[in-house]
Amino acid sequence: MNLIIDIGNTRTKVAIFKKEKLLKSYPTDTFNSDDLFQLKKEYPKIKSAIVSSVKNNSNEIITLLKEQIDFVLKLNHKTILPIENLYRTPKTLGKDRIAAAVGANKLYPNKNLLVIDAGTAITYDFVNNKNQYLGGFITPGLNMRLKALNEYTDKLPLIQAGYPDDTVEGNKRIISIKGGIQFGLEGEIRRIIQHFKPLNDKLT
């Protein structure tokens, strides 16, 4: 059994696999020794673990895992991958982007892939039909856009993400913000997909 830990900007995601079968997955704010003890109790056959982190605090978790698990791998630019990484500055490539590209290629090998991962930031990553990772784009996530309007203006409130209640043009402040952010992001996604489509036959 394999333990997978993905430390993102906002939350940590944990998963247990038996070969390629997902047995359990859940998000958490933190992962500590109590969490590991509970997982080992529930799944005593965990033999391997891999940690992907976009933060610099993963060493503590790596140390914790090595005390309890036989084989522990920290995903980084030196990790051997089933795809070829052609990113020009591999040291600066986010581990979340590497993991997303590898996962998509596992599901759709030998295809032109655009992988869209919507988290704190939104990443757009391209893998070609030669199983080569070529890079992509990074933009602010939905909640980051809402927070930016609030933090960098004096009068705009911080609101929850969602479609505006009124389908007409924005005639109230909250409707204006929701519509601008929501529809603007949708337009961005469509535009980036269109950017990659003419360059690559049969984009998935």
pLDDT per residue over 94-145, tens digit each? 999 999 999 999 999 999 999 999 989 999 999 999 999 999 999 999 999 9
The catalytic position among 29, 35, 96, 154 is: 96
Judged by average pLDDT, the poorest of 58-62, 104-108, 134-138, 187-191 is 58-62
Contacts of range 51-55, beta carbons closer than 8 Å, 24 or more positions apart:
51/5, 51/7, 51/75, 52/4, 52/5, 52/6, 52/7, 52/95, 52/96, 52/98, 52/99, 53/5, 53/6, 53/7, 53/95, 54/7, 54/8, 54/9, 54/94, 54/95, 54/96, 55/7, 55/9
- For residue 162, the model assigns a pLDDT of 85
- For residue 92, the model assigns a pLDDT of 93
Instruction: Report d(CA 31, CA 15) in Å as an integer.
Output: 12
34 tagged catalytic: no
Mean pLDDT for the chain overall: 91
What confidence category does residue 169 fall into, taking pLDDT thresholds of 50, 70 and 90?
A: low
Burial 2-20 (b: 16+ CB within 10 A, else e): bbbbbbbeeebbbebbeee
- For residue 30, the model assigns a pLDDT of 86
Beta strands, E only, the chain: 2-7, 12-18, 21-28, 48-53, 71-74, 84-85, 113-118, 121-127, 132-140
Instruction: Report d(CA 18, CA 6) in Å as an integer.
Output: 17
pTM: 0.86
Tell the residue number behind the tokens 């535009």, with chain if given: 191
